[in-house]
C-alpha cells in the first residue's frame, strides 16, 4: 500500500503523466509539458484488462511477443525515471477507472497524455475526460508520434489527401520536421515504490531462427538506430528492403516506433546528420519516405477514425467475401496449400515479426485466394505482431483489400511468382517449415505447394 503524503493544494501542483505507446523520455512533449507545469509528476502505465480478452474476431489484442517487448520497454522506462528520482506506477484494469483513481489518490490537478487517432482510443480519452472533469481534474493532450506535427500540416485534417503521393508531395514542399524536444533535466515525484515486474510477466525464449532479436526500451531503440545508420546499412536500404530475411535489409525500427520508445523525429534528424556527414542518396531518402507513409496512415485515421475498422473501409465499397472459418484457421496455423504462406505465418507466430513483403503476400493470399474477410487477417496480425500499430496495420490491410487509400483498388500478389522472385533457393521456406528443414538435404522440392 502506498503512503501518499498530504499536500497543500494551494501551493503544490501535481500531474499524472499517463504513458501509453510513448514509452520514452527523449522528444516527448507530453512529459515536457507536464514537467514544465507541475511541481511533482506521477508517471503511470495502465495495462488494459481488455487486451487479454477475445475480440469479435476471436483473437486477442496482444500476444506473447509484443507483451514481452512492452514489459521490457516499461522496465527500462522505470529505470530511466528512477535515475531522475522518479519512478513508474504500474496498474492493471480499466484505464478510465485507474487513471481517475490515481489522480485522486495523488491529489493531481492534471493528467497529461498522448493524443489518439483511432476510434477506441479516442473514445477512451473522451470518457476519461468526462470523468476527470467531474472531479475538477484537467486532461492535457499532446501529439507525439508523427514525423510532421499535426499542426504543421499544410491542410486541415478534413482536407488530407486520400492518396499517399499527394499527401507526401505537399508535406515535403510546405512543412518542416520540428527539432526534437530534449529530455527534461529536473523532475520531481513523490516517493514511488519499485514495480515487481515478475508478478506480471514471465520472459519467453527467443526462436533461434529469428533474423533479429528485439528488446524493448528507449536505450535499445537508440542502439539499433546507431547500428543501422552509422554502420552504413542505410546506404543499401532501398535496394534491399524487399528481402524476406536478415538483420539489416531493413531498419527494424517498427516495434520501437509502435510503442514510442523512439520518435520518428529522432530517426529523421539522425538520418539528416548522417547525410550531412557522408552524403545523401536514394536509400537515406527512402527511409524518410517510409516514415512519411507511417504519418500518412496516422493522419488518415485522424480523418476517418472509425471507418478503417469497417469491412467496407473508407472506400464505402461493398466487397463479397465468402469468409470460411477453416480457411482462417489454416492460414493462421501455417496449414494452407502454399508453403511460402505457411513459412511466413510460422515466422510470425514464432517471432512476432515478418518482412513488409511477407505481410503483403500473406494479406493478398488471405483476401484474394482464401476469400476471407480482411478484418480477421488484420486482427490476427494485431495479436501477433511485435510492432502492431492500429494505423499502420489496419491501414495497410485496408489498402491491400482495396477499401483503403489505394486508388488502384487493392493489391493482388501472384504467390508462385513471389516465391520465384524472393525465395528462389528455398532458403526462407526451408528455415520456417520444419517439414522442409528436416528434408532439406534431399533437395527435392520442386513446387511451391506442399499440401493439396
Which residues contact ligand FAD by CB under 6 A?
A: 241, 250-254, 257-258, 287, 290-291, 293-294, 297, 355-356, 359-360, 363, 381, 385, 387-389, 392-393, 396-397, 400
Length of the chain: 452
Cβ closest to ligand FAD, residue 98 vs residue 389: 389
Helix (H) / strand (E) element for 90: namely: strand 89-93
d(CA 224, CA 231): 10
- Closest distance of CB 267 from ligand FAD, Å: 8
As measured in angstroms, the least distance from the Cβ of 430 to ligand FAD is: 22
CB atoms within 10 A of CB 248: 18
Task: Mark residue 181 as left, alpha or beta (left: phi above 0; alpha: psi -120 to 50; beta: remaining).
Answer: beta
Cα 434 from Cα 440, distance rounded (Å)? 9
Closest CA to 221 of 266, 271, 269: 266
For residue 112, the SS3 value is strand
For residue 45, the minimal CB distance to ligand FAD (Å) is 20
Instruction: Pick the closer one to ligand FAD by CB: 82 or 319.
Output: 319
CB closer to ligand FAD out of 189 and 211: 211
As measured in angstroms, the least distance from the Cβ of 110 to ligand FAD is 31
Burial (CB < 10 A; 0-12, 13-18, 19+), residue 319, is middle
Minimum distance from residue 11 beta carbon to ligand FAD (Å): 44
Minimum CB distance to ligand FAD smaller for 89 or for 258: 258
Nearer to ligand FAD, 111 or 415 (CB): 415
Q: Least CB distance from residue 291 to ligand FAD, whole Å?
A: 5
Task: Please enumerate in sequence order all residues whose Cβ is within 8 A of that of 238, keeping only pairs 6 or more positions apart, or say none.
Answer: 282, 283, 286
As a whole number of Å, the CA-based R_g of the chain is 23
Taking the least distance from each CB to ligand FAD, the nearer of 190 and 352 is 352
Indicate the residue among 80 and 405 with the shorter CB distance to ligand FAD. Answer: 405
Q: How far is the CB of 199 from ligand FAD (least distance, A)?
A: 29
Task: Determine contact, residues 357/240, Cβ cutoff 8 Å.
Answer: no
What's the longest Cα–Cα distance across the chain? 79
Closest CA relative to residue 390, chosen from 51, 89, 140:
51
Nearer to ligand FAD, 359 or 431 (CB): 359
| Least distance to ligand FAD, CB of residue 373, Å | 14
Using CB atoms within 10 Å of the CB of residue 207, give its burial: 0 to 12 exposed, 13 to 18 middle, 19+ buried: middle
| Between 90 and 167, CB nearer to ligand FAD | 167
Beta bridge partners of 42: 16
Q: How far is the CB of 330 from ligand FAD (least distance, A)?
A: 18
Amino acid at each position: 500500500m502506498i503512503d501518499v503524503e498530504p499536500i497543500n493544494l494551494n501551493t503544490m501542483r501535481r500531474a499524472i503523466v499517463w504513458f501509453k505507446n510513448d514509452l520514452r523520455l527523449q522528444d516527448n512533449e507530453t512529459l515536457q509539458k507536464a514537467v514544465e507545469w507541475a511541481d511533482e509528476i506521477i508517471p503511470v502505465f495502465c495495462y488494459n484488462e481488455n487486451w487479454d480478452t477475445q475480440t469479435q474476431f476471436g483473437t486477442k489484442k496482444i500476444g506473447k511477443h509484443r507483451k514481452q517487448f512492452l514489459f521490457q520497454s516499461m522496465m527500462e522506462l522505470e529505470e530511466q525515471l528512477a535515475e531522475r528520482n522518479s519512478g513508474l506506477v504500474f496498474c492493471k484494469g480499466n484505464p478510465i477507472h485507474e487513471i481517475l483513481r490515481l489522480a485522486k489518490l495523488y491529489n493531481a490537478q492534471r493528467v497529461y497524455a498522448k493524443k489518439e487517432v483511432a476510434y477506441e482510443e479516442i473514445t477512451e480519452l473522451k470518457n476519461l475526460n468526462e470523468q476527470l472533469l467531474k472531479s475538477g481534474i484537467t486532461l492535457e493532450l499532446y501529439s507525439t508520434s508523427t514525423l510532421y506535427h499535426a499542426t504543421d500540416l499544410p491542410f486541415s485534417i478534413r482536407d488530407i489527401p486520400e492518396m499517399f503521393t499527394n499527401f507526401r508531395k505537399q508535406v515535403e514542399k510546405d512543412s518542416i520536421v520540428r527539432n526534437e524536444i530534449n529530455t527534461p533535466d529536473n523532475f520531481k515525484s513523490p516517493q514511488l515504490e519499485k514495480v515487481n515486474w515478475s508478478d506480471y510477466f514471465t520472459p519467453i525464449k527467443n526462436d533461434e531462427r529469428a533474423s533479429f532479436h528485439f528488446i524493448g526500451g528507449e536505450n535499445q531503440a537508440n542502439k539499433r538506430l546507431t547500428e543501422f545508420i552509422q554502420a552504413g546499412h542505410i546506404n543499401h536500404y532501398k535496394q534491399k528492403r524487399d528481402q524476406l530475411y536478415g538483420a539489416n535489409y531493413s531498419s527494424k525500427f517498427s516495434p520501437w516506433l509502435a510503442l514510442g520508445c523512439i520518435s520518428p523525429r529522432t530517426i529523421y534528424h539522425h538520418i539528416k546528420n548522417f547525410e550531412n556527414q557522408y552524403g545523401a542518396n536514394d536509400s537515406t531518402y527512402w527511409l524518410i519516405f517510409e516514415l512519411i507513409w507511417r504519418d500518412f496512415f496516422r493522419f488518415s485515421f485522424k480523418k476517418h477514425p472509425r471507418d478503417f475498422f469497417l469491412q467496407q473501409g473508407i472506400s464505402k465499397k461493398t466487397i463479397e467475401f465468402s469468409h470460411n472459418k477453416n480457411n482462417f484457421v489454416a492460414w493462421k496455423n501455417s496449414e494452407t496449400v502454399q508453403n511460402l504462406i505457411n513459412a511466413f505465418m510460422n515466422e510470425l507466430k514464432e517471432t512476432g515479426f515478418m518482412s513488409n513483403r511477407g505481410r503483403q503476400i500473406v494479406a493478398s493470399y488471405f483476401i484474394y485466394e482464401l476469400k476471407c474477410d480482411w478484418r480477421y487477417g488484420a486482427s490476427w496480425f494485431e495479436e501477433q505482431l511485435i510492432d502492431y500499430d492500429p494505423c499502420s496495420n489496419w491501414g495497410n490491410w485496408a489498402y491491400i483489400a482495396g477499401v483503403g487509400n489505394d486508388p488502384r483498388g487493392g493489391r493482388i500478389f501472384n504467390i508462385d511468382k513471389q516465391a520465384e522472385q524472393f525465395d528462389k533457393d528455398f532458403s526462407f521456406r526451408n528455415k520456417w517449415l520444419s517439414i522442409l528443414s528436416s528434408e532439406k538435404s534431399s533437395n527435392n522440392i520442386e513446387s511451391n505447394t506442399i499440401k493439396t
